Structure 1
Amino acid sequence: MDEQLKQIGERLKGLRDALDLTAQEVADACGLNVEKYEKVEQGEEDITISKLMKIAHKYGVSAEELMFAEAPRMKSYFVVRKGQGMSVERTKAYKYQSLVSGYVNHKADVFIVTVEPKPEAHTVYKNNHAGQEFNLVLEGAMDIYLDGKTIRLNEGDSIYFDSSKPHGMLAVGDKAVRFLAAAIG
């Protein structure tokens, strides 16, 4: 994971250099203070997918280019075979596998997210981003914390919500939860 964080940081710095932007401008675009953003560029801090999406949208690149260093190429269709989507482990507990990374100008970011259980967790990290989000639980169960409410989702359950509201999730029980997440807008 540390190598992935370092590579994402290098790509963010490269984007900033190519567009002649200051660290403060990019930090402001994604809602981070400049000190934390500079640590992200140095590979010392993690950055959420939603913040990467904000940067990508603001500066006209795809989130996949920032996460995977791959530019989408397909214009008619894009197939991802089971288990073959480009993936990034955001933290030890979260793994994102992109299902749309190769399609040019996709309107939604779609991932299979795997969240490992954290029985000792008392705090849930929440984020928010523009648009809407759809989650469908494929395996396991999770609690989603959405705008002050806790909603239990079991295998086969789904939720569609305003993703500008603070939201986060935890795996429930002793096994990982896998869910389809589609961020739209």
Structure 2
Amino acid sequence: MEQYKDIAPRLIGLREGIGWTPGEMADLLGVSEETVTGYESGAMEIPVGYMLDVSRLCRVDLTTLISGREPHLKSYSLVRKEEGFSVDRRADYDYKSLGYKFAGRQMEPFLICVPPKGGDDMVETAHRGQEFIYVLEGRLEIRMAGEPLIVEAGDSLYFNSETPHALRGLDGKEVKFLDVIL
């Protein structure tokens, strides 16, 4: 789980820098203390929704939390094809942040590639905010609170991110989509 080891110390540093205990942080985020300490240990997958909640609560840019580097552009940010910042937070998805250069973002745009997998291998996640998905290539199954939805190239879905959701590519192929988290 190497990809979490770089983010975990930044989570601890933010929490301790503000002066919160793991229990206080858990209460503020609406999660268990075990969840906070698990993510801070670097041994558990850290969902992007959790990192987004921490960055908002601690008033730190998500790019800084993930990469340790500060974004610096305030008027606009142009990210060329294949230049997105890789977010190595899940072993099974390929995340590229498309807004990582812009300071003070109100949304988090990602280009995500999800591989095909069996229905039993889908892992639900939920986090605060809202989410918008626009499929570019392939067919995506999104389970929303256990209900399967099939989203194809050109289709979009806007939803409350607190609704448990899980994703997988269909037809034995990877699916590529834009995902904007608010």
The reply to whether TM is greater than 0.5 is yes
Task: Measure how far apart 1:123 and its partner are.
Answer: 4.8
Contact 1:29 1:54 in 2 (8 A): no
Instruction: Select which of 124, 127, 132 maps to 1:126.
Output: 124
TM-score by length of 1: 0.90
SS in 1 for 2:95: strand
Per-residue Cα deviation, 1:24-70 (whole angstroms, up to 9, x for no partner): 22233334322332232121111100111111111111222111112
Structure 1 segment 100-115 matched on structure 2, within 5 A: 100-115=99-114
Residue of structure 1 equivalent to 2:140: 142
User: Which letter maps to 1:137?
Assistant: V
Residue of structure 2 equivalent to 1:6: 5
SS in 1 for 2:120: coil
Per-residue Cα deviation, 1:95-134 (whole angstroms, up to 9, x for no partner): 2110111111111110011112223x41532222333211
SS in 2 for 1:64: helix
Residue of structure 1 equivalent to 2:150: 152
Structure 1 segment 56-95 matched on structure 2, within 5 A: 56-95=55-94
* Counterpart Cα distance in 1 of 2:148 and 2:50: 23
Instruction: Select which of 161, 165, 168 maps to 1:167.
Output: 165
Per-residue Cα deviation, 1:114-169 (whole angstroms, up to 9, x for no partner): 112223x4153222233321101112111111134211011221111222322221
**Cα separation, partners in 2 of 1:29 and 1:43, compared to 1, 3 Å:** same
Structure 1 unmatched runs, 5+: none
Task: Measure how far apart 1:74 and its partner are.
Answer: 0.6
SS in 1 for 2:2: helix
Contact 1:112 1:179 in 2 (8 A): yes
Q: What is the alpha-carbon root mean square deviation over aligned residues?
A: 1.7
TM-score by length of 2: 0.91
Task: Measure how far apart 1:93 and its partner are.
Answer: 1.0
Percent identity of the aligned residues?
Answer: 34
* Counterpart Cα distance in 2 of 1:30 and 1:4: 23
* Counterpart Cα distance in 2 of 1:63 and 1:29: 18
* Counterpart Cα distance in 2 of 1:97 and 1:10: 22
Aligned length: 182
Residue of structure 2 equivalent to 1:32: 31
Once structures 1 and 2 are overlaid, which stretch shifts more, 157-166 or 8-17? 157-166
Residue of structure 2 equivalent to 1:180: 178
